[in-house]
């Protein structure tokens, strides 16, 4: 299960921003040129690729991480709106009933709309039974996925659980009752006070293979539909950075995920030769809003310069190289058809105080 460590002190500002931004009128633009959107498929690719490493372990871990993230950001929002003190008193008297008050339901609903992660609404609240239901349209976790007969939005479950728990104070757990990935046209979540930790649907290799194909089919789809499929940069960024800070092995983990993505991108991007494909790679980066990519060649190596990296832009100086996913992506993209691997290292990073991120083959 996820637990905050000392490393998260330097990360606390991100939780504050995540919680207050939906309720603030300030302009909080992170990236000046590309804007603060990232294509949904990039987040889905990273999220579901992590599950390939160990579906059972990472499902429960990501649920606990999401719950922590949501609790902390909701607490920041409550402080910003100056309702945390009142909430502690009222919640003891009415418990679930306060969720019917727009002031409190907005704490749960507004961030989803602001960050473009879905369109939720409370469909049922029972203060006596201490239960509630939330319907979620256009869930960015399940959006566009095939019907695999399983519920996949356990991370969304955790975000709802964390928000409601921050408001009510008591233990709250939420499980998904309907999912786009199990044949429904929307997702639905049921929550209750003191609900036991729910057993999630565990995705198999076959499930993940279908999901992965659908993600890259949409990633390379052209046209009007693709231009509407975005998520606010803050959500994948805080997810990615939090995972990066949670484990010493996160660099290897994200590098592996990125390498698989790079291999798939190379297959699908236009061009017969590697040189042609490399020329088209900056266009894909811009299209997905991963960053502004420039590639430099010399006799011994390739250098990839990424400005406004989706993973490091806007971060304080964390004194760490963060963009392991991109390093792995370049490695997978350069891998030969015979499976010969090419190692790529990050030599500069925005998160380490540099003006841009830079990667080099070795």
Residue-wise pLDDT for 172-221, tens only, equals: 999 999 999 999 999 999 998 877 767 899 999 999 999 999 999 999 98
| Predicted pLDDT at 88 | 58
Domain 249-361 classification at class level: alpha beta
**Structure tokens belonging to residue 309:** 């990296």
CA distance 176 to 182: 11
CA triplet 292, 336, 305: central angle to 5 degrees?
Answer: 20
Q: CB-based contacts of 319: which residues, under 8 Å, 6+ apart? A: 351, 352, 353
Domain parsing of the chain, residue ranges: 7-209, 249-361
pLDDT digits (tens, 9 = 90+) for 309-336: 999 998 877 788 899 999 999 999 999 7
**Structure tokens belonging to residue 45:** 């690719």
**Structure tokens belonging to residue 19:** 């919680």
* Domain 7-209 shares a fold with domain 249-361: yes
| Alpha-carbon dihedral 32, 261, 242, 283, rounded to 10 degrees | 0
Terminal Cα distance for the chain, rounded: 36
**Structure tokens belonging to residue 66:** 């999401």
| Alpha-carbon dihedral 11, 12, 14, 20, rounded to 10 degrees | 180
Q: 124 with 133: CB under 8 angstroms?
A: yes
**Structure tokens belonging to residue 131:** 């239960």
Q: CB-based contacts of 262: which residues, under 8 Å, 6+ apart? A: 328, 329, 330, 331, 332, 333, 334, 335
With a cut of 70, which residues of the chain have pLDDT below it?
1-12, 84-95, 197, 223-227, 337-338
| Predicted pLDDT at 238 | 87
Say what the pTM is: 0.91
Domain 7-209 classification at class level: alpha beta
| Predicted pLDDT at 304 | 98
Q: 203 with 55: CB under 8 angstroms?
A: yes
CA distance 147 to 166: 33
């Amino acid at each position: 299960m996820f637990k905050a460590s000392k490393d998260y002190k330097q990360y606390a500002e991100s939780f504050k921003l995540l919680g207050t931004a939906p309720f603030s009128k300030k302009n909080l633009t992170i990236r000046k040129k590309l804007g603060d959107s990232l294509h949904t498929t990039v987040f889905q690719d990273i999220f579901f690729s992590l599950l390939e490493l160990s579906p059972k372990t990472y499902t429960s871990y990501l649920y606990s991480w999401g719950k922590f993230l949501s609790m902390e950001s909701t607490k920041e929002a409550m402080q910003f709106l100056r309702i945390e003190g009142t909430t502690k008193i009222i919640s003891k008297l009415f418990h679930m009933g306060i969720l019917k008050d727009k002031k409190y339901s907005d704490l749960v609903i507004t961030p989803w709309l602001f960050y473009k992660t879905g369109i939720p609404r409370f469909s049922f609240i029972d203060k006596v039974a201490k239960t509630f239901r939330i319907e979620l349209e256009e869930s960015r976790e399940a959006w566009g996925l095939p019907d695999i007969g399983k519920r996949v939005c356990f991370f969304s479950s955790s975000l709802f659980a964390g928000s409601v728990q921050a408001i009510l104070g008591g233990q709250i757990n939420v499980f998904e009752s309907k999912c786009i990935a199990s044949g429904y046209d929307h997702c639905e979540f049921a929550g209750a006070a003191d609900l036991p930790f729910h057993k999630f649907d565990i995705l198999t290799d076959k499930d993940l293979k279908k999901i992965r194909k659908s993600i890259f089919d949409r990633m390379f789809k052209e046209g009007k539909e693709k231009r509407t499929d975005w998520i606010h940069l803050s959500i994948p960024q805080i997810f990615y950075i939090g995972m990066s800070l949670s484990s010493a092995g996160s660099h290897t983990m994200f590098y592996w995920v990125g390498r698989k993505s790079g291999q798939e991108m190379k297959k699908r991007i236009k061009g017969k030769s590697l040189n042609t494909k490399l020329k088209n790679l900056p266009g894909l980066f811009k299209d997905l809003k991963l960053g502004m990519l420039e590639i430099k060649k010399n006799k011994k190596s390739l250098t990839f310069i990424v400005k406004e990296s989706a993973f490091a832009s806007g971060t304080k100086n964390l004194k760490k190289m963060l963009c392991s996913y991109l390093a792995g992506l370049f490695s997978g993209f350069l891998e030969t058809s015979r499976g010969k691997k090419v190692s790529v290292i990050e030599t500069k990073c925005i998160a380490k105080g540099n003006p841009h991120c830079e990667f080099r083959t070795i």
